[in-house]
Amino acid sequence: MYDTTCLLPAVRQFRSSCRKTGRTGAAALLCAALLLTGGSPAFAQNNDDGIQASVTEHTVTTADGWQISLTYYQSTLGKKASVVVLLHGEGENRLVWQNGFAQQLQKMGYCVAAVDLRRHGQSANAPGETGAAAASRGSLSANDYQAMAASDLEAVKDFLLAQHQKGLLNVRKMAIVASEMSAPVAISYATLDWAKRPYPDAADLASRTPRGQDVRAIALLSPDESLPGLPTGRALLTLRNPAFNIAFLLCYGSKDRKAGREVKQIYTKLTGIAGNDDRMYSRPFANQLQGTKLLGRGLKVEETIIGFLQKHVAQQDIPWQDRRSRLEQ
């Protein structure tokens, strides 16, 4: 499997200098990340355009009427800001990312959306459903999983597009970090997003305004290989296309055989084509913990994800552009 150490040479180099100056833990990681981006620790300040770092709560409505809750972390980088969507595992909610990881990404200049998928957290109830009904409904269905990808994340993307049009982020530099159950959801959504054809507003395809094709990187924590209604085999074969230039990172606790098997199945599909070795990573951590439980344990999982996002999202030269069709401008 691909060695992820190539992601973090600058981080390791700077960590040594942090130890010499007394910086440890999160502070050292932040400093290293700032070194990678060429940024400064002033992300919490207003930028020259008056954009202020903030954390706000939002509810978006899906096409089928579901209310999806999310926490939005605004960057100060405006049109230069990459965006990361954080997805929890089954039975969890968006609070699992508030152990410092979402805030860390924001301080580094990312806009972040931590989402409660339907039937989870504050998105638990269907339209017209009471709390009691939600508690007694039983397990998730294939329809639920499919709707998470096709409806929930599409509504989140619409929210992000609105922020993009305000000049608050660059949706063209988008990543998804997903845990366990939400991995097939992220994979399926990315496939849908890349299937969107550009507006027919220019003679040649390269000059047309995109409707989608924005997901550049996907980091998966102990990913489920598939879900009822969401097999990932065909989707992975689509997303691995070198022409799309989508990067994948798979993190998992190596002391759990089931997790290792699932990761191997996904990784094998992603790497079964020439030209993908520099975009596909599998990173085992010597632990039985899985999913978001790998975070906040000093295992350097966060550092690995951040290095991946820096290389394959933040450092990519993808300029901001108006997402309205030229025919509407």
Q: Which of 18-22, 98-102, 111-115 has the lowest mean pLDDT?
A: 18-22
pLDDT, tens only, 191-207: 999 999 999 999 998 89
According to DSSP, the residues that pair with 308 across neighbouring strands are none
Q: Greater confidence, 12 or 179?
A: 179
pLDDT, tens only, 57-77: 999 999 999 999 999 999 999
Label each residue of 170-238 as H, E or C.
CCCCEEEEEECCHHHHHHHHHHHHHCCCCCCCCCCHHHCCCCCCCEEEEEEECCCCEECCEECHHHHHH
Average pLDDT over every residue of 106-110: 98
Q: Which of 201, 240, 199 is nearest to 218 (CA)?
A: 240
- pLDDT of 26 reads 36
pLDDT beyond 70 at 6: no
* Burial state string for 289-317 with b = 16 or more CB within 10 A and e = fewer than 16: bbbbbbbeeebbbbbbbbbbbbbbbbebe
pLDDT beyond 90 at 28: no
pLDDT beyond 60 at 285: yes
State the DSSP string of 263-304: HHHHHHHHHSSTT-TTTEEEEEESSS--GGGGTTSSSSHHHH
pLDDT, tens only, 293-328: 999 999 999 999 999 999 999 999 999 999 999 988
Six token digits for residue 163: 């922020």
- Classify residue 298 by its DSSP letter: S
- pLDDT of 47 reads 65
pLDDT beyond 80 at 48: no
- pLDDT of 131 reads 62
Cα separation, 32 vs 126, whole angstroms: 43
Cα separation, 152 vs 50, whole angstroms: 31
- Classify residue 313 by its DSSP letter: I
Six token digits for residue 216: 């550049």
According to DSSP, the residues that pair with 178 across neighbouring strands are 87, 220
pLDDT, tens only, 267-277: 999 998 888 88
Cα separation, 267 vs 148, whole angstroms: 23
- pLDDT of 261 reads 96
Looking only at Cα atoms, what is the longest distance across the chain?
A: 58
3-state DSSP helix/strand/coil % of the chain, to nearest 5: 40, 15, 40
pLDDT beyond 50 at 144: yes
Taken in order of first residue, the domains within the chain and their CATH numbers are 4-314 (3.40.50.1820)
pLDDT, tens only, 257-267: 999 999 999 99
pLDDT beyond 80 at 213: yes
Q: Greater confidence, 165 or 49?
A: 165
